[in-house]
Amino acid sequence: MFDVVVIGSGPAGYVAAIKASQLGLKTLCIEESVDNKGNANFGGTCLNVGCIPSKALLDSSHRYYEANKKLSEHGIEIGELKLDLSLMMKRKDDIVNKLTGGINGLFSSNKVESYSGRGKIIDANTVEVVKADGAVEKIETKNIIIATGSKPIEIPSAPFGKNIVDSTGALGFTKVPETLGVVGAGIIGLELGSVWSRLGSKVTVIEALDDFLPMADKDISKESFKEFKKQGLDIKLSSTVIKCSEHKEYVSVSYECQGEEINKKFEKLIVAVGRYPNSSGVIGEKVNISINKGFIEVNEFCQTSVPNIWAVGDVVRGPMLAHKGSEEGIMVAERIAEKQAQVNYDLVPSVIYSHPEIAWVGHNEDELKLKKIDYKVGKFPFAASGRALAVDQSVGFVKVLSDKKTDTILGVHVFGPAAAEIVQQALISMEFGASSEDISLTMFSHPTVSEAFHEAALAANNQAIHIGNKK
Ligand code: FAD
Ligand code: NAI
């Protein structure tokens, strides 16, 4: 009998399994994905086909773009530039293999047992595993954690095929497409659209909504939209795909843009219109757990209506982000071990790894207006940061929003260099209830791009040194 059986080994599942075992619970993790040798392939979407490979390609493509377009501004001439895409892909695959293989090591050093196969909950204490060869085994356990993740949404007007691909397909092109269509100007569309644009594709992004990045602060949406366009992403807002047809070498796409029908050919089309929770077939008929639009219903502690069955990560409500899933995994392991754990869902950071990066935490201005919270704004442009100018990354700004009466920081929004790291500094301070004055009174190394956070905090109280203050 196990204390905990975890179904799924993505960042929610494998972290939950390691934590549970560290807390002295006898733990098993079941994973259905297998590698080319038939062994369980741990790490889920994030390590295999998500966060890690996309960031590897974002970095490689950025270096290529810099070498191609930017180094000459620094007086560096490199002659003829060549792209070896297969080597770039190999580097990405090597990083993925290192990390996914590393989970095997983490499991064994933390005494987590693992099983290759598809898990299904039969009753509150039994998980059935169907192995790749069809053999079935039943496992008894005191607690179950569902961490089965999510998969790309497919739309009827653009079904996946040879040239119409999801994010996984877009991480493995063997040739740079001359023309690339992307359906969805969300996080994947912008990150992977940027990768292929930097490598030479002419990229058109087809987005259904009228607004660009509606979940971000309005100033960031506006400025980043201009910047993405400048970088070559032709973003068509208010546009819907009507139909697509696959041809041997290309895809024909008809889409409607503000009442007009447009027909285009793309060598490849990436469809990135969101992800759907992977809950189908995981919960047996005899187990009474509600599923809403694919999401397994849980309380704030990720507990389902069956008290010893828990669910974490993309398969439950909340943002589909690796760090959110991992924190939920840790919370659940601790609660099973009868500790008082919780996740602060008010402070989940968001990052888009474009260049410059976009990142935020807490509320944006629209949300504060909607909640009728009085706030003040401190904004500092990277154009006034010595370090940002020195490293040629002076686009964007830091914006600090704090409570008008108490000065408590309510949100920090960054478009610019190291945005993710700056927002992480903000998040740590917000966890400790910092005010913009607390940040103002903190010493920042010079010259760093983080100084823009310091100045934005000063600006919230009209005390900025390196820009003019409001009269
Ligand atoms: P998953 O990672 O999806 O893992 C679920 C696992 O469960 C899989 O391995 C699956 O095979 C297994 N499984 C499913 N059903 C069963 C079953 N019945 N039995 C056994 N095993 C099963 N997030 C970020 O925070 N930062 C990023 O930079 C980022 N970049 C991304 C880039 C891309 C291209 C994509 C697609 C996603 C990205 N994400 C990013 C999102 C991130 O990958 C997910 O939020 C995260 O992987 C979710 O973790 P999870 O453990 O809930 O699920
Ligand atoms: P998304 O939700 O970020 O964006 C999807 C976009 O597609 C939206 O703008 C939506 O309006 C648009 N859309 C939906 N249906 C459409 C249609 N029929 N035609 C045209 N546009 C349409 O989803 P995405 O980009 O697929 O990413 C999925 C999730 O993966 C993200 O929400 C995020 O949680 C995670 N992710 C996180 C990353 C990060 O943290 N840096 C990177 C990549 C993914």
DSSP 8-class letter at 261: E
Mean pLDDT of 285-298: 96
Residue in this structure with the two tokens 């609660």, named with its chain if needed: 335
pLDDT tens-digit map of 396-440:
999 999 999 999 999 999 999 999 999 999 999 999 999 999 999
Mean pLDDT of 262-272: 98
Same domain, 134 and 229: no
Q: Where residue 169 falls among pLDDT bands split at 50, 70, 90?
A: very high
Residue 466 lies in a domain: no
Same domain, 313 and 174: no
Whether 446 is catalytic: yes
pLDDT tens-digit map of 346-365:
999 999 999 999 999 999 99
CA-based nearest residue to 196, from 178, 219, 183, 220? 178
Question: Is residue 294 within 8 Å of 279, Cβ to Cβ?
Answer: yes
Write down the pLDDT at residue 469: 86
Res 73 pLDDT > 80: yes
Residue 173 lies in a domain: yes
The first and second tokens of residue 388, run together, are: 């940002």
Query: In terms of residue numbers, what domain contains 50?
Result: 2-152+276-346
- Average pLDDT of the chain, as a whole number: 97
Last residue of a domain, one of 213, 245, 273: 273
Same domain, 147 and 286: yes
Residue 30 lies in a domain: yes
Please give the Cα distance from 430 to 14 (Å, whole number).
28
Residue 429 lies in a domain: yes
Same domain, 45 and 116: yes
Same domain, 144 and 282: yes
Task: Give how many domains the chain has, as a whole number.
Answer: 3
Mean pLDDT of 68-82: 93
Write down the pLDDT at residue 441: 98
Question: Is residue 152 within 8 Å of 140, Cβ to Cβ?
Answer: no
Last residue of a domain, one of 297, 312, 346: 346
pTM of the model: 0.97
Give me the catalytic one of 62, 74, 413, 446.
Answer: 446
Write down the pLDDT at residue 470: 77
Same domain, 20 and 93: yes
The first and second tokens of residue 361, run together, are: 């935490």
Write down the pLDDT at residue 394: 96
Mutate to test the pocket of ligand 2, among 155, 187, 237 (most ligand atoms within 8 A of CB): 187
- Cis ω before 356 (30° cut-off from 0): yes
| CATH number assigned to the domain comprising residue 415 | 3.30.390.30
pLDDT tens-digit map of 309-333:
999 999 999 999 999 999 999 999 9
Write down the pLDDT at residue 36: 82
Same domain, 14 and 128: yes
Q: How far is the CA of 83 from the centre of ligand 2 (A)?
A: 29
Residue 407 lies in a domain: yes
The strand pairing partners of 126, in sequence order, are 123, 140
Write down the pLDDT at residue 301: 98
pLDDT tens-digit map of 115-163:
999 999 999 999 999 998 899 999 999 999 999 999 999 999 999 999 9
Residue 351 lies in a domain: no
Same domain, 122 and 90: yes
Report residues whose beta carbon is within 6 angstroms of any ligand 1 atom.
7-13, 30-33, 44-46, 50-51, 54, 118-119, 147-150, 167, 188, 278, 282, 313-314, 320-323, 325
Report residues whose beta carbon is within 6 angstroms of any ligand 2 atom.
155, 183-189, 191, 206-209, 240-241, 272-275, 319-321, 351-353
| CATH number assigned to the domain comprising residue 252 | 3.50.50.60
Side chain identity at 241, as an amino acid letter?
V
Residue 471 lies in a domain: no
Write down the pLDDT at residue 39: 87
Same domain, 29 and 77: yes
